[in-house]
Amino acid sequence: MNGQEQVILSVQDVHKHFGGLKAVNGVSFQVQRGKITGLIGPNGAGKTTTFNIISGFYRPDAGQVLFNGARIDGLPPHRVFHHGLCRTFQISRELKLMTVMENLLLVPAGQKGENLFASWFLPGQVRAQERTLRAKALEILEFVGLAHLQNEYAAGLSGGQKRLLELARTMMADPQMVLLDEPGAGVNPTLMRRIAGYIRSLATDRGITVLLIEHDMDLVMNVCDWIVVMSSGQKLAEGTPDQVRQNPAVLEAYLGGQNR
């Protein structure tokens, strides 16, 4: 596999303005297949806007985004999802009035039970698929440590457990790549370590590529293979965790007190 084939996501000279605000101003970077890449920077650096462009929530004003060599910039989120690219959000978006298990079972597309003809005339196939999906969901819940809560309503989960449910829902979609938006936000140190372990396992054991935004530098430095640093809407630097940690421009950006 050559270097280009190892690139799963390519962000090329992307721009996004909101009035006079240049939220993303000519950003370019690549994400290697099967690796964990961090996207970091001070508040207001343009990280979340970049995520929103990649995942289809914003259309860029200029530039392009390639996923597996195909352009996805400008596609709506559901079409980006069907390409195999999933994301989580800073604020968990669980279905509060459904159980943890039901939150996962709703994710897979093209279920036979959604087809009236299959429900009436192929009930055996419908039940067989439901059993398969339930077994898969249970395996994922066991992976993230939520199996014992499978029948609890999602509204009753703690903040950290909702983070884990978000991760489980993305895994249920069998993505090639996940965008994790602050997976450690609002969780205690013990759960943070668990989440870090799950993120590593996504890449090393399941072959899922990860791009994450995170303000907790311990998490970023411990799990990421490569780090892209943004500041004031532009890419400031990129490199290994050690290279980024020692980069004077990165230190200046963080100590310079950027605000949203």
Say if residue 30 is in the same domain as residue 46: yes
Same structural domain for residues 210 and 99?
Answer: no
**Same domain, yes or no: 22 and 117:** no
Q: Are 86 and 179 within one domain?
A: yes
Q: How many CB atoms lie within 10 A of CB 13?
A: 12
248 part of a folded domain? yes
The reported pLDDT for the residue numbered 131 is 81
Q: Assess whether 78 and 103 both reside in one domain.
A: no
Per the domain annotation, does 130 fall within a domain? yes
**Would you tell me how many other CB atoms lie within 10 Å of the CB of residue 16?**
22
Neighbours of 255 (CB within 10 A): 9
Residue 169 lies in a domain: no
pLDDT at 83 over 90: yes
CATH of the domain at 78: 3.40.50.300
Residue 161 falls within a domain, yes or no?
A: no
What's this model's pTM, rounded to 2 decimal places? Answer: 0.84
Question: What is the separation, in whole angstroms, between the first and last Cα of the chain?
Answer: 41
Residue-wise pLDDT tens digits, 20-68: 899 999 999 999 999 999 999 998 999 999 999 999 999 999 999 999 9
The reply to whether 244 and 143 lie within a common domain is no
- Is 250 part of any domain? yes
- The reply to whether 239 and 140 lie within a common domain is no
Nearest Cα neighbor of 168 from 201, 190, 193 is 201
Determine the Cα–Cα distance for residues 254 and 214; give it in Å rounded to an integer.
14
Residue range of the domain that includes 144: 95-156
Whether residues 113 and 183 share a domain: the answer is: no
Residues 189 and 240 in one domain: yes
Task: Please indicate, yes or no, if residue 104 is contained in any of the structural domains.
Answer: yes
User: For residue 164, is it within any domain?
Assistant: no
Residues 247-260 have pLDDT tens digits of: 999 988 876 644 33
Are residues 87 and 179 part of one domain?
Answer: yes
Count structural domains, the chain. Answer: 2
Are both 118 and 232 inside the same structural domain?
Answer: no
The predicted-structure confidence for 120-178, as pLDDT tens digits, reads as follows 455 666 677 688 889 999 999 998 999 999 999 999 998 888 889 988 988 898 899 99
107 found inside a domain:
yes
| 89 and 124 part of one domain | no
